[in-house]
Amino acid sequence: MKMSRGYWTDKIASLDAEVSYCEIYRILFAFEFPWDMNQSLSFALYRTYAVPSIGGLLARTGELTDRTQKRYDDTALLLERVLRSGFDSGDGRTALRRINQMHHAFDISNDDFRYVLSTFVVVPRRWIDRFGWRQLSEAEVRASVLYYRDLGHHMGIRDIPDSYLGFEELLESYEADHFGRDEGALSVSEATLRLMTTFPPNHLLPASVSRRMALALMDDRLLDAFGYPHPTALERRLMETGLRLRGRVVGLLPPRRTARWVEGMSHVRSYPTGVATELLGVEAGVD
């Protein structure tokens, strides 16, 4: 059966975001914008390192300096497993327990948790509106808000915003008040940038070029928090043009027929014998 380019867009439009937010977000993540979601969520997580209480903690634990690839994989795979399986499924509950166990081993404030959650809502919306093959609808933005509110509740996070504007205001105010220099956080940033240079297709370029490409996608507030020099106007323009061109090309392609999950992407390398058995300690039971 031939599928029109707007197949998944129409499917989402037929759903009620207040009720079917998990299904809508799943379609966005795995069918409509899999590459954009992966990139934007990676940058969302990276932003949090500029808060010294977050980046400094990660440096002290060695989670993102000594085991950068594994920590990156664990975060992406556990969050994806919850999305794929659902909050109430066996694998989903197991992934949530692992997420909570990992976080509860450390003294993390509710405010830091709320800020991290806000980046997962705001950064992908901004990225897709800027570089995606189309912009997100209000229903899709609402579904994202409700999905991460639900995730936050399962993680025991309190006082979660109930709207996109609330998440955006939280992100902006928290970064204005808390972004700052920290040597430990800088070491986490450097380890993450080194890892980014190894991801396909970045690995085909000199590491110094891949690094400058990543920095060209960062705003001045984030760069200043780490003490990085600002990219040139040409570097920013080249990255902006290239990503927008990519978005236009994707818009000309037929819709995805099969889900594209992080678990199958080549830059995820920590679990060659299976995510379910190694990371979750259970037999796989997802689609």
pTM: 0.93
Angstrom CA distances, 239 to 216, 220, 246, stand at 7, 15, 11
Give the CA angle between residues 106, 88, 43 to the nearest 5°.
50
Angstrom CA distances, 178 to 50, 68, 114, 145, stand at 8, 24, 13, 23
202: amino acid identity, one letter: N
- Angstrom distance (rounded) from CA 73 to CA 198: 14
Residue 9 domain flag: no
Residue 28 domain flag: yes
Low-confidence ranges of the chain (pLDDT < 70): 1, 272-287
**pLDDT of the residue at 71:** 85
287: amino acid identity, one letter: D
Residue 163 domain flag: yes
Tell me the two tokens of residue 20: 């079917």
Residue 216 domain flag: yes
Residue 192 domain flag: yes
**pLDDT of the residue at 287:** 42
Residue 3 domain flag: no
**In terms of residue numbers, what domain contains 105?**
17-280
Q: What is the DSSP string of 228-273?
A: PPPPPHHHHHHHHHHHHHHHHHHHHSPPPSS---GGGSTT--S-TT
How many structural domains is the chain composed of? 1
Residue 2 domain flag: no
Residue 107 domain flag: yes
**pLDDT of the residue at 268:** 80
Instruction: Yes or no: say if 65 and 187 are a contact pair by the CB < 8 Å rule.
Output: yes
**pLDDT of the residue at 104:** 85
- Angstrom distance (rounded) from CA 55 to CA 58: 5
